[in-house]
Amino acid sequence: MNTLYITGAGVSAASGIPTFRGEDGYWTIGSKNYTPMEMATRAMYENNPKEFLAWYYHRFATYRNHGPNEVHHWLSDKNLITQNIDGLDGKAGNTNYIAIHGRLDQMTLFHHQGDDVTPQTTPWDNVDESRLHDSLFELFKIENHQPVLNQSLKPFVLLFDEYYTELYRISEAQQRMVDADKIVFMGTSFSVNITQMALEIARSYDIPIEVVDPEPAHIMHPNVSYKKMTALEYIQVKG
């Protein structure tokens, strides 16, 4: 059976990485002046890169050395699309997973969305926290407090006011959904576009779905089963 797994932040919680919408979530913790929904935008990166990069560094890059947990290792040979940017699936050995929202360990040229660019490794360890803002500006090639198209760099992450492009392997992700015999959602709140896209495809192609979450969201789908458990409990049952 060709089962497609689509994972969210709940899968990485056991690795010590905060989920997005829990009490300690990334989206509940803003900066002093902005909410996370304002902060995690292309507009903020363009207009206030100092604030954006410092926020991104503290909220994401500080977790860059965390390791995969049992769930990531279980998924290492599975057909997988993850919403997470933490890269833990790659660390666990999955060589063909799709990181649909980008990857923390990579950056790209700051480009018009849809342009063909190649991700490159972000040398986070070069950041000097004693002079954080200047150090981040140097890393991302930002001069005069404004990123410049096709010259500056940008974290490889899909922001709230951006859309899925081939940089994020969106066509391949959609094809994997269409080809699936079953789609299993693990640790996701169904509040992002990619999960809605997968649900629409599942409905259109009559693909059964499974929702793995201690408090699963109710899904409008004729063939859905709910597993009210953590991802870790689920893989222990599956063996």
Edge-to-edge strand list for the sheet holding 120-121:
120-121, 102-109, 153-157
Residue 20 or 203, more confident: 203
Asked if residue 44 and residue 8 are part of one domain, the reply reads no
Asked if residue 234 and residue 126 are part of one domain, the reply reads no
Asked if residue 116 and residue 26 are part of one domain, the reply reads yes
CATH code of 91's domain = 3.40.50.1220
| pLDDT of 86 higher than 90 | yes
State the pLDDT at residue 120: 97
Which whole-number Å values give the CA distances from 163 to 61, 71, 116, 158, 194, in the listed order?
22, 28, 14, 7, 10
Average pLDDT over residues 197-225: 94
| pLDDT of 131 higher than 80 | yes
Asked if residue 80 and residue 25 are part of one domain, the reply reads no
Asked if residue 188 and residue 121 are part of one domain, the reply reads no
Please check whether residue 176 is in contact with residue 98, taking contact to mean a CB–CB distance below 8 angstroms: yes
Asked if residue 170 and residue 148 are part of one domain, the reply reads no
State the pLDDT at residue 41: 93
Give strand pairing partners of 7: 82, 186
Residue 86: domain span: 1-17+68-101+163-239
Average pLDDT over residues 6-22: 80
pLDDT tens digits, residue range 24-56? 444 444 445 666 678 889 999 999 999 999 989
| Mean per-residue pLDDT over the chain, rounded | 91
| pLDDT of 10 higher than 90 | no
Asked if residue 202 and residue 172 are part of one domain, the reply reads yes
Residue 115 or 32, more confident: 115
Average pLDDT over residues 5-25: 76
Average pLDDT over residues 1-5: 97
Asked if residue 146 and residue 121 are part of one domain, the reply reads yes
Edge-to-edge strand list for the sheet holding 224-227:
98-99, 79-82, 3-7, 182-186, 209-212, 224-227
pTM of the complete model beyond 0.85: yes
Domain count, the chain: 2
Asked if residue 97 and residue 22 are part of one domain, the reply reads no
Asked if residue 191 and residue 90 are part of one domain, the reply reads yes
Quick one: pLDDT band at residue 19, thresholds 50, 70, 90?
low
Asked if residue 119 and residue 221 are part of one domain, the reply reads no
- Token pair listed for 133: 């803002």
Domain boundary residue among 139, 157, 175?
A: 157
Quick one: pLDDT band at residue 173, thresholds 50, 70, 90?
very high
Asked if residue 191 and residue 140 are part of one domain, the reply reads no
